A and B are shown apart, each in its own frame.
Chain A
Amino acid sequence: AQSVTQPDIHITVSEGASLELRCNYSYGATPYLFWYVQSPGQGLQLLLKYFSGDTLVQGIKGFEAEFKRSQSSFNLRKPSVHWSDAAEYFCAVGAPGQAGTALIFGKGTTLSVSS
């Protein structure tokens, strides 16, 4: 069965600094990969997704993620963090072709931004 791990529970980054949030997945083939962001009291908003093709995908709000098959990773990056990026971030994996599959979410990484 597929699974996803977000090794960092909480990260603090200075405003203007770069950001990388880690995501590792377990699946026998190439999965579908997603990053979502959740602001306090809100639902989840899709940042970006990867299905196939170019391994570097661009998302909304200046985020990007890179799929690395050899490392089973899909890390989220942003070159310069803004205070409004403080939120919880979830990586999710889907398994193409498996009957009855919905997304499996990681446990999330909380991002704090310091001034």
Chain B
Amino acid sequence: NAGVTQTPKFQVLKTGQSMTLQCAQDMNHNSMYWYRQDPGMGLRLIYYSASEGTTDKGEVPNGYNVSRLNKREFSLRLESAAPSQTSVYFCASSDGDSRVSNQPQHFGDGTRLSIL
């Protein structure tokens, strides 16, 4: 019962370095999401993908890019990491079209990213 798997679990980067966070789901879900979680801010949506081949910006997309590689995988890339991107990143997936938000999202365990 893997569900949503995120790699790596922890990472430390230097300012300016690039990195890709990986996410894969085995539930055959159509929609996938990337959030960041910061203390006192809750979860904020970075990007999402309603279906394979489509991606859209969320609330805080600046400094990030995404790729929906196939139905299972949705990666998040930091091209030039900044200390403000220190956060915990969560990937999630849901069944059905994300425009109909009645399907609950299933979350991975997160990637804890520190940028020095």
Q: Which residues of A contact B (CB under 8 A)?
A: 9, 32, 34, 36, 41-46, 49, 51, 90, 94-103, 105-108
Q: Which of B17-42 contact A (CB under 8 A)?
A: 31, 33, 35, 40-42
**Partner of A90 from B42, B56, B98, B106 at Cβ < 8 Å:** B42
Smallest Cβ-Cβ distance to B54: which chain A residue: A100
Given the complex of chains A and B, what is the CA–CA distance between A34 and B103 in angstroms? 10
A46 and B101 in contact (CB under 8 A), knowing A102-B33, A106-B42, A108-B42? no
A101 and B90 in contact (CB under 8 A), knowing A43-B108, A49-B104, A107-B42? no
Contact, CB under 8 Å: B109 / A102: no
Contact, CB under 8 Å: A101 / B43: no
Given the complex of chains A and B, what is the CA–CA distance between A36 and B71 in angstroms? 25
Chain B residue numbers with a CB within 8 Å of A41 are 109-110
Q: How far is the CB of A76 from chain B (nearest CB, A)?
A: 15
Interface status of B74 (Cβ within 8 A of chain A)? no
Contact, CB under 8 Å: A99 / B99: yes
A96 and B101 in contact (CB under 8 A), knowing A44-B90, A107-B40? yes
**Partner of A96 from B45, B100, B106, B109 at Cβ < 8 Å:** B100
Q: How far is the CB of B34 from chain A (nearest CB, A)?
A: 10
Chain A residue numbers with a CB within 8 Å of B66 are none
Contact, CB under 8 Å: B105 / A103: yes
Smallest Cβ-Cβ distance to B41: which chain A residue: A107
Contact, CB under 8 Å: B42 / A102: no
If A44-B92, A90-B43, A97-B100 are given as contacts, then 20 extra A-B residue pairs at C-beta distance below 8 Å, sorted by A number, are: A41-B109, A41-B110, A42-B109, A43-B90, A43-B108, A44-B105, A45-B107, A46-B106, A49-B102, A94-B101, A94-B102, A96-B101, A96-B102, A100-B56, A101-B99, A102-B101, A103-B45, A105-B43, A107-B41, A108-B42
Contact, CB under 8 Å: B99 / A44: no
